[in-house]
């Protein structure tokens, strides 16, 4: 139960993050894609222009994939928060004594 309580502040922070901060995830994905593309090209003993071309293409694809994933993830997080909010009983219903 303690982990669930600590989850809500983190989720609220992530849901209120401005778009400019979420773009940093896209940049991080692009950097990872560039490194992966360059690494595979260098491992294949390709000439430098080919290495740069493949690294740029993989950076573009990885950035787009990171942007797509972050949107899906935040929508799922928002949906889960709404479901938990609506599933909670009201405090007044729990505290009222039930009289027959």
- Please report whether residue 70 resides in a domain: yes
In a domain, 68, yes or no: yes
CB 11 within 8 A of CB 74: no
Question: Which whole number is the average pLDDT over 66-89?
Answer: 82
DSSP summary character for residue 47: -
8 pLDDT higher than 80: no
| Cα distance between residue 81 and residue 98, in whole Å | 30
The verdict on residue 46 lying in a domain is yes
pTM: 0.64
Does a structural domain hold residue 17?
no
Answer yes or no: is 98 within a domain: no
Q: How many domains does the chain have?
A: 1
Say yes or no to pLDDT of 58 above 70. yes
Residue 36 near residue 61 (C-beta atoms within 8 A): no
d(CA 58, CA 52): 10
Domain extent, residue 45, equals: 23-81
* pLDDT, averaged across the chain: 80
Q: How confident is the model at residue 1 (pLDDT cuts 50, 70, 90)?
A: very low
Per-residue model confidence as pLDDT tens digits over 11-53: 666 666 666 667 888 899 999 999 999 999 999 999 999 999 9
Residues in the chain: 100
């Amino acid at each position: 139960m303690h982990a669930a309580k600590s989850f809500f502040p983190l989720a609220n922070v992530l849901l209120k993050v401005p778009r400019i901060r979420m773009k940093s995830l896209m940049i991080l994905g692009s950097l990872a894609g560039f490194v992966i593309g360059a690494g595979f090209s260098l491992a294949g003993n390709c000439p430098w222009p080919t290495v740069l071309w493949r690294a740029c293409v993989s950076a573009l694809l990885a950035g787009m994939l990171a942007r797509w994933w972050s949107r899906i993830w935040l929508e799922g997080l928002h949906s889960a928060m709404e479901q938990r909010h609506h599933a909670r009983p009201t405090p007044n219903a729990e505290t009222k004594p039930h009289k027959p």
